[in-house]
Amino acid sequence: MTAQEVATAVPPEASDSFPADRRLEAYRTMVLARSLDDRCIALQRQGRIGFYAPHAGQEAALLGSAYALAPDDWVFPAYRELVVALVRGASLQSVVDQLFADSGDLTKGRQMPNHFAFRAQHFVSASSPIGTQIPQAVGAAMAARSRQAPIATIAYFGDGATSSNDFHAGMNFAGVFRAPTIFFCQNNGWAISLPRDRQTRSPTLAGKADAYGFPGVVVDGNDVGAVYTAVRRARRRAVAGEGPTLIEAQVYRFGPHSTSDDPRRYRADSEVESARLRDPVHRLKTELLSAHLLDEAGDAKIWEEARGTIQGAVTAAEAAAPVGPLSFFDDVYASLTPRLAEERAGAAAQVPAEARRP
């Protein structure tokens, strides 16, 4: 099914358009996200955080999809989706605390930066293995439907994940069971060093949905409004019992795969410069300027405020207490097993007395 056919199958509704009164707010979030990205790369280079996976270039896809979801929907993220968590109400402080793995980190310092989990926002814990969240999103969607909950689940993943066996398993289950799931593929062109055409000979990633018996659509991932509309329609289909949709948001990863990566080994700077001409932040800014919702002075203020907000969160994170030294024994099981209790007691002897806290 082509995008056009999907549009026919799901009649457009006024609510499919990005809400006009939230465009400026979306831009503020986008600026916050871009500023956070810049700051986090610097923090990693300075040795203040251990790792970071940037999202620059993908903000419109992230924001457009996040705005299109309902609070009760469930998000199964990969590791560039902190913007989605922010839109759903996770605090910037809790995001930054995760990056610093301090005592404010809701994941208790267990994982590398970018592997968030926010229960209150139905933002499921991210892992590093690629694609594993995809069948999980399908299972959660089946569970929600069995409880008659009118919600959708959304799985975020990249172009590389479409080669994983979990992508196949999840897409296939979703097709067979008509699961209310949105598969949101951010095709950013590169899976670390491998270009999109090293993942598949398929003309589009969205086209893979054909084989599983449900629609796939390609959307300009630099256009926050277009992404919003695509996800709204997919969500309506899902909640109406019409089954899943695969959305391929075409974006470009401006930065490295992560702070451990040097993209100049595998792609030309000119390619990045060319992609930056389609920068989603500039694009939304231009739209707001021409709609007279923003002027240059207002824009400068938004950037300044974003940097200030981030500085506040970084300062607080660096002042926060570290995670408790023996807390890594918690949450392995619902309660400490006898063996873990013994190991924990042994490990306690390694911990300096002044650092021992519950």
Partner 1 sequence: MTELTLVQAVNRALFDAMRSDPDVLLLGEDVGVNGGVFRATDGLLKEFGAERVIDTPLSETGIVGAAVGMALYGLKPVAEIQFLDFIYPAFDQIVSELAKMRYRSGGQFPCHVVVRAPYGGGIKGGLYHSQSTEAYFCHTAGLKVVVPSTPADAKGLLLSAIRDEDPVIFLEPKRLYRSATGEVPDGDPAVPLGRARVVREGTDVSLIAYGAMIPPTLEAAATLGTEGVSAEVLDLRTLVPLDEKSVVASVEKTGRAVAVHEAARFCGFGAEIAALLAEKAFYSLKAPIGRVTGYDTPFPYALEQLYLPDAPRIAAAARAAMTAG
Active site residues: 253, 257, 266
Pairing between β-strand 74-76 and β-strand 181-187 as defined by DSSP bridges = unpaired
Taking the complex as a whole, the smallest distance from the CB of residue 286 to partner 1 amounts, in Å, to 39
Residues near partner 1 (CB under 8 A), total:
48
Residue 83 makes contact with partner 1 by CB under 8 A: no
Candidate list 84, 140, 219, 288; residue touching partner 1; CB under 8 A: 140
**Structure token digits, residue 161:** 């994940």
Task: Report CA-CA distances (Å) from 250 to 222, 226, 261, 351.
Answer: 7, 11, 22, 49
Please, which residue, 148 or 350, has the CB nearer to partner 1? Answer: 148
First to last CA, the chain: 57
Q: Does 132 bind partner 1 (CB under 8 A)?
A: yes
Nearer to partner 1, 170 or 256 (CB): 170
Is position 188 an interface residue for partner 1 (rule: CB under 8 A)? no
Closest CA to 69 of 89, 98, 92, 91: 89
Indicate whether 154 belongs to the interface with partner 1 (CB under 8 A).
no
- The answer to the question of residue 165 lying near partner 1 (CB under 8 A) is yes
Cβ–Cβ < 8 Å for 58, 256: no
- 317 binds partner 1 per the rule CB under 8 A: no
The conformation of residue 322, written as its DSSP 8-state character, comes to: B
- Residue 320 binds partner 1, judged by CB under 8 A: no
Q: How far is CA 104 from the centre of its chain?
A: 21
Chain centroid offset of residue 24 CA? 21
Question: Near partner 1 by CB under 8 A, which window of 63-71, 77-85, 105-113, 258-266?
Answer: 105-113
Contacts of 185 (CB under 8 A, 6+ apart): 157, 158, 159, 161, 162, 205, 206, 246, 247, 248, 249
Out of 59, 102, 166, 248, name the contact with partner 1 by CB under 8 A. Answer: 166
Q: Does 338 bind partner 1 (CB under 8 A)?
A: yes
79 binds partner 1 (CB under 8 A): no
Residue 115 near partner 1 by CB under 8 A:
yes
| Tokens 């590791």 -> residue | 79
Q: Which residue, 147 or 201, has its beta carbon nearer to partner 1? A: 147
Per CB under 8 A, 93 contacts partner 1: no
- Residue 318 or 343: the one with the smaller Cβ distance to partner 1 is 343
Distance separating alpha carbons of residues 47 and 50, to the nearest angstrom: 7
Tell me how far, at minimum, the Cβ of 352 lies from partner 1, in Å.
24
Nearer to partner 1, 98 or 188 (CB): 98
Asked if 339 interacts with partner 1 (CB under 8 A), we say yes
- Which of 63-71, 82-90, 130-138, 281-289 is the region at the interface with partner 1 (rule: CB under 8 A)? 130-138
247, β-bridge pairs: 184, 217
The three state secondary structure string of 230-284 is HHHHHHHHHHCCCCCEEEEEECCCCCCCCCCCCHHHCCCHHHHHHHHCCCHHHHH
What's the min distance (Å) between Cβ of 111 and partner 1?
5
Q: How many Å apart are CA 307 and CA 211, to the nearest integer?
A: 46
Subset of residues 16 to 55 that bind partner 1, contact rule: CB under 8 A:
none
Q: Least distance to partner 1 from the beta carbon of 154, Å?
A: 12
Backbone angles phi, psi at 213, to 5 degrees: 85, 25
Check binding of 353 to partner 1 (CB under 8 A): no
Q: Which C-beta is closer to partner 1: that of 291 or that of 332?
A: 332
Cα(73)–Cα(153) distance, integer angstroms: 6
CB of 156 to partner 1, least distance (A): 14
Strands (DSSP E) contained in 69-221 are 74-76, 153-158, 181-187, 190-191, 194-195, 216-220
Q: Which residues contact partner 1 by CB under 8 A?
A: 74, 76, 105-108, 110-111, 115, 117-119, 124-125, 127, 129, 132, 134-144, 146-147, 153, 165-166, 168-170, 172-173, 176-177, 330-334, 337-339
